[in-house]
Structure 1
Amino acid sequence: MSFKSTERYIVSEGLSQAVNAAVTLEKPLLLKGEPGTGKTRLAMELADSLDAPFLQWNIKSTTKAQQGLYEYDAVSRLRDSQLGSEKVHDISNYIKPGKLWQAFTSEQRPVLLIDEIDKADIEFPNDLLQELDQMAFHVYETGEQVEAKQRPIVIITSNNEKTLPDAFLRRCFFHYIQFPDEATLSDIVQVHYPNLQPRLLDEALAVFFGVRGISGLKKKPSTSELLDWIRLLLTEDITPEQLAEYRERPSMLPLAGALLKHEQDIELIERASRAY
């Protein structure tokens, strides 16, 4: 397999090599990087390029590893028992397969995305070690052993909110997605807006990187926020001349709410423009 940029998604050479290496080694690919750098989108585009089933497990602070395997609905079984339902005699009626189970039993090799693993409890990654290693698990309620028909391609994303355990890291192929340089970001924007006026693109990128370069920002704007901002620039008919004027004589950043997500950052930009 050789995964490279697609018509809708631009990848660096390093990221392309990381995807291919993880698939070759049959290890999960652990992706870190700033929010908005396309970690989740990568898994979707990989599945699409392979014409493979795509399964997404969104991790929350309350998510437990067991939910990825299966969940046993004891409450429904008790209720059915009280109602005299015949379903209660087959406990499998109350077993709900999780995303790992679905990936293991897929007829076609799927791409499984475990998204934002660092949101969960610190023990969450360790609780998945054996299942990801052996590609199998036991269903205690039924005595069933679920084994992977073929090893799924596993993509795991992290925003570095928590440090992941060393034992977990050893079982992954790791890649950090660097923030794109101006040339790469220009390519990404043109994928989404192929008819964008070149000068507007140049001025928008100059303003964008100028904002990212301001010291003290609580959250630097990301690729996804740049794309949203450019969409609004087009909708509001903001001209390249207006953006050039902003750069030469800083005032209020046009449509700042698309790029900046904290009031402290907007105030910082405003103070910088007044000081100018």
Structure 2
Amino acid sequence: MQFSSTSSYVAPRDLTVAVNAAITLERPLLVKGEPGTGKTELARQIAQAMGMELIEWQVKSTTRAQQGLYEYDAVSRLRDSQLGDPRVEDVSHYIRKGKLWQAFEAPQRVVLLIDEIDKADIEFPNDLLAELDRMEFHVYETGQTVRARQRPVILITSNNEKDLPDAFLRRCFFHYIRFPDAETLARIVAVHFPDIKSDLLAAALEQFFEIRDTAGLKKKPSTSEMLDWLKLLLAEDLAPADLKRDAATALPKLHGALLKNEQDVALFERLAFMARGQRNSPR
């Protein structure tokens, strides 16, 4: 089965090629790109399109690789032993299965999402090398070896906050999701807002890319922020003429959906001030 765009997700050709190549090679697909470009949503769409269950492992700064395999609750076992609970004789009662274990033992092939791997410690990817290569791991407390019934489709996302180890990269198929061009972004918008008027969409896209291309912008607005902005424009029933920027600040209408920090808001205000000064200066 080949992955392609779905009714709710526009996948450029290079992205579909990458997904299908990773599945064919049985390698994890490492996807990088700006926040908000649909990396996490890609895993959900792959699972939906291929009729597989999705298992999501959300990585945080405190996440350890061992948690993806299993965790042994020694504290609970000690407490139960003090209370005379007979369950303490079976250590398996105190083993909590992690996301990799769940994916390995699933009766049918699943999609495993390891989301934002670059948030964790630098050793986190290296600690998963053997398990992702061999599709098995050992549970020391019980002496059992857990092997994957079927190799899961593994999607790993990164926001490029830190470099990943070379040994880990070597085992992955890599793809960088480029920010969509105007034509692709219009197709994405059409999926979410099929009834949007073409003149409003054209005006909104023009202003959106002008904002993204503004020099000195600390955080460029993403695809998801563009969709939020359009939702607000439609809710306010604004027309293309209403999108004309405020001459006093040069800020776009409902700019809080696009500009997410005070530095970028101040940047547009400074640009407006400079533009007013140029207009008012004697010639």
Match of 2:259 in 1: 260
Preserved contact between residue 104 and residue 149 of structure 1 (Cα < 8 Å): yes
**Gap change, CA 1:255 and 1:247, over 3 Å in 2:** closer
In the alignment, does 2:120 pair up with 1:143? Answer: no
Give the drift of 1:87: 1.1
* Aligned counterpart, 1:184: 184
Does residue 208 of structure 2 align to residue 208 of structure 1?
yes
Q: Who is 1:121 aligned against? A: 121
2:280 matched to which residue of 1? none
Alignment check: 8 A CA contact 2:112 2:155 kept: yes
1:19 counterpart letter in structure 2: V
**C-alpha separation in 2, matches of 1:162 and 1:250:** 36
What is the deviation of 1:248?
9.2
Quick check: 1:56–1:112 contact (8 Å CA) kept in 2?
yes
Q: CA deviation at 1:251?
A: 2.8
1:274 is displaced (CA, Å) by: 2.6
Partner of 1:20 in structure 2? Answer: 20
Segments of 5+ residues of structure 1 without an aligned counterpart are none
CA contact (8 A) 2:251 2:265 kept: no
Deviation at 1:246, TM superposition (A): 2.5
Conserved? CA contact 2:36–2:223, under 8 Å: yes
Report 1:86-235 matches (<5 A). 86-235=86-235
Task: Quote the offset at 1:253 in angstroms.
Answer: 1.6
The one-letter code of the counterpart of 1:53 is E
Could you tell me the TM-score, scaled by structure 2's length? Answer: 0.95
SS for the counterpart of 1:16 is helix
1:105-141 CA distance string (max 9 Å, x none): 0011000000000000000000000000000000000
In structure 2, do the counterparts of structure 1 residues 57 and 101 end up closer, same or farther at CA, with 3 Å as the change threshold? same
Q: Percent identity?
A: 63
Corresponding letter in the other structure for 2:231: R
Q: Is the 8 A contact 2:246 2:252 kept in 1?
A: no
Is the radius of gyration larger for structure 1 or structure 2? 2
Conservation of the 8 A alpha-carbon contact between 1:207 and 1:247: no
What letter matches 2:69 in structure 1?
L
Q: C-alpha separation between the residues in 1 aligned to 2:183 and 2:109?
A: 35
SS in 2 for 1:62: coil
Distance 2:185 2:193 in 1: 12
The CA RMSD over aligned residues, in Å, is: 1.3
Runs of 4+, deviation exceeding 4 Å? 247-250
